[in-house]
Amino acid sequence: MRMYDIIEDKKRGRTLSKEAIDFVIKGYTDGSIPDYQMSALLMAIYCKGMNSEETAQLTLAMARSGQMMDLSSIEGIKVDKHSTGGVGDKTTIVLGPLVAAAGVKVAKMSGRGLGHTGGTIDKLESIPDFHVELSMEAFVENVNTHGMAVIAQSGEFAPADKKLYALRDVTATVDNVSLIASSIMSKKIAAGAQAIVLDVKCGSGAFMKTAEAATELAETMVAIGNNVGRKTVGIVSDMSQPLGFAVGNALEVIEAFETLKGKGPQDLTELTIHLASNMLYLAKIADTVQTARERVKEVIANGEAILKLKEWIASQGGDPSVVEDYSLLPHSAQTQEVTLEKKGYVSAIDTEKIGKVALLLGAGRETKESTIDLAVGLIIHKKIGDYVAPDDPIATLYHSSASRLQDAVQMLQEAYSLSETEVEKPTLIYKMIY
Ligand code: URA
C-alpha cells in the first residue's frame, strides 16, 4: 500500500477502505508517513468528505493508536458524557453524583481549561485537598466502592488524534465535521465508554455557532458511536449565554452544589436532569427516559445526590464539609458590580467574551503553562430576555487584583446587546438525536 495512491483516491472522491485508513493512521503515528503527505490527504478529505463508514473506521483507528482503557472490572454498563464545551458548563460536577446516586457507575476522565472555556479538573481543584490524580487501580477501586471517580486525563489516549489535530490546526483543516467528530469520539472510545451521551453546544460561547452546524456534528458523532457498537445519544443544547449564572472555578463549584441541593439555576438544573436521564436509560437502569427522569428528580429531592457528592469528595481526599460551608472554598476579597447605564431587554450575549472576562480576571489559562486563580470569576445577573434598568447590575465580578479590572468591566459591557422591545428566552434543548 502506498500513501501516494491513498491521496490520489481521496483526491478523486473515492471511498477509502478500512485497510487504507489503518495504514494511514499507523504510519502517521509511527512517523513513517511524513507531515506533507498527511497534509495532502487531510485537504483531500476536507474537500471530498468521508462517508459514515470511513468516518467510523478513522475513529476506531485513532482510538486504537494508543492506550485503550480497560474498565471491564467495573460492573455494569459504563456510560460517559461528553460536552463540546462552553462557558459556565459545570454539568459534570452535578451529573456525576446525580447519576451515581441513581445507580450508574461513573468512571470519568476530564480535562483542564484552555482559552475561554473552563475545565472540570480545575474546578474540582478548588475543593481543598481533592486529588484529581489517582492511580488506575485506585480509580477503578473508587468507582467500584463509591460508584464514581473523576480524575485528570493521563496516559496517551488516541495519540494519532493529538498529532493529527496539531497538523489540522496549521493546514486549515480543523472545521470539517467528519474530522472533528472522529477526533472527539476516538478519545471517548479509548477512555473505555460503552455508551455515550453527547452534549453538543451551539451559540456564541460554543465551537459550533449555529443549531444547524451543531446538529450536523451531533448526528455525525451519534452515527460513529452506533457504527462502532457504542450506543450513543446526542443532545444539541444552547450556549448563546453562559449556563447558570456562575463563571469561574470555585464559583461554579458552589453553583453545582446548589443544583444538587435542588436550588440551582433553572437552565443548569433542566440540562443536567435531561443528560442524567439519558445516561440512566443507556445504562439500562431505567426502561424509558421518562422513568429515568423521575428517578433522577427523586435523588435530588430525597438528598441521596448530596450524600453521594459528600462520599465522592471524601473518597478523593477532599473535605466533604465544604458542601455545607462554602467559606472553605477559595474566595475573592474584592467584588465589583457592573452596570450598563442604559435600559432595555437583553437581546444577545457574546458568551465567548464572557469567557474572556473570566480569563482576564485570572480564572483561565492563556497558555498551557499559566497558573490560575481558583477564586475569581463572575456571577451573571441578567440573561437573554431579562429587562435591565440603567443602574441594574448585569454581573458581579470577583477579583483579586485591580490590574486588569477596567479591561474586564469594559469587555463585559461590550458582551451585552439590548433591545427596546421584549425578547424571547432561548430554547435550552434544541434537539435530541438517537
Ligand atoms: N475538539 C476535539 O477534540 N477535536 C476537534 O477536532 C475539535 C474539537
Q: What is the pLDDT of residue 317?
A: 97
Residues 135, 271, single domain; the answer is yes
Is the distance from the beta carbon of residue 180 to the nearest atom of ligand 1 less than 6 Å?
A: yes
**Catalytic option among 22, 80, 89, 161:** 161
Is 386 an annotated catalytic residue?
no
CATH number at residue 14: 1.20.970.10
Last residue of a domain, one of 308, 323, 338: 323
DSSP labels, 321-354:
GGGT-GGGS---SEEEEEE-SS-EEEEEE-HHHH
ipTM exceeding the 0.90 mark:
yes
Is 186 an annotated catalytic residue?
no
Model pLDDT for residues 8-29, shown as the tens digit of each residue: 999 999 999 999 999 999 999 9
User: Domain of 373?
Assistant: 330-419
The C-alpha cell of 351 is what? 458568551
Q: Answer yes or no: is 33 within a domain.
A: yes
Judged by DSSP in three states, 166 sits in helix
Is the distance from the beta carbon of residue 33 to the nearest atom of ligand 1 less than 6 Å?
A: no
Number of domains in the chain: 3
Residues 288, 381, single domain; the answer is no
Report phi then psi at 74, rounded to 5. Answer: -100, 125
Q: What is the pLDDT of residue 224?
A: 95
Residues 265, 207, single domain; the answer is yes
Q: What is the pLDDT of residue 155?
A: 64
Q: What is the pLDDT of residue 113?
A: 79
CA atoms within 13 A on the CB side of 150: 27
Residues 355, 287, single domain; the answer is no
Residues 155, 185, single domain; the answer is yes
Parts of the chain with a pLDDT under 50: none
Q: Answer yes or no: is 239 within a domain.
A: yes
Residues 143, 265, single domain; the answer is yes
Model pLDDT for residues 206-222, shown as the tens digit of each residue: 989 999 999 999 999 99
Alpha helical stretches, state H, 236-371: 249-260, 266-282, 289-301, 304-315, 351-361
Q: What is the pLDDT of residue 371?
A: 87
Last residue of a domain, one of 265, 299, 323: 323
Q: What is the pLDDT of residue 333?
A: 85
Answer for the pair 312, 148: CB distance below 8 angstroms, yes or no.
yes
Is 32 an annotated catalytic residue?
no
Q: Answer yes or no: is 235 within a domain.
A: yes
Is the distance from the beta carbon of residue 279 to the nearest atom of ligand 1 less than 6 Å?
A: no
Is 365 an annotated catalytic residue?
no
Is 131 an annotated catalytic residue?
no
How far does the centroid of ligand 1 lie from the alpha carbon of residue 179, in Å? 8
Residues 217, 144, single domain; the answer is yes
pTM over 0.90: yes
**Catalytic option among 182, 183, 204, 332:** 183
Q: What is the pLDDT of residue 261?
A: 98
Q: Answer yes or no: is 9 within a domain.
A: yes
How far does the centroid of ligand 1 lie from the alpha carbon of residue 157, in Å? 14
**Catalytic option among 10, 112, 123, 187:** 187
CA atoms within 13 A on the CB side of 302: 9
What is the residue with the minimal CA distance to atom 2 of ligand 1?
184
Residues 297, 348, single domain; the answer is no
Q: What is the pLDDT of residue 424?
A: 98
The C-alpha cell of 98 is what? 446525580
How far does the centroid of ligand 1 lie from the alpha carbon of residue 167, in Å? 12
Rg (CA), the chain: 22
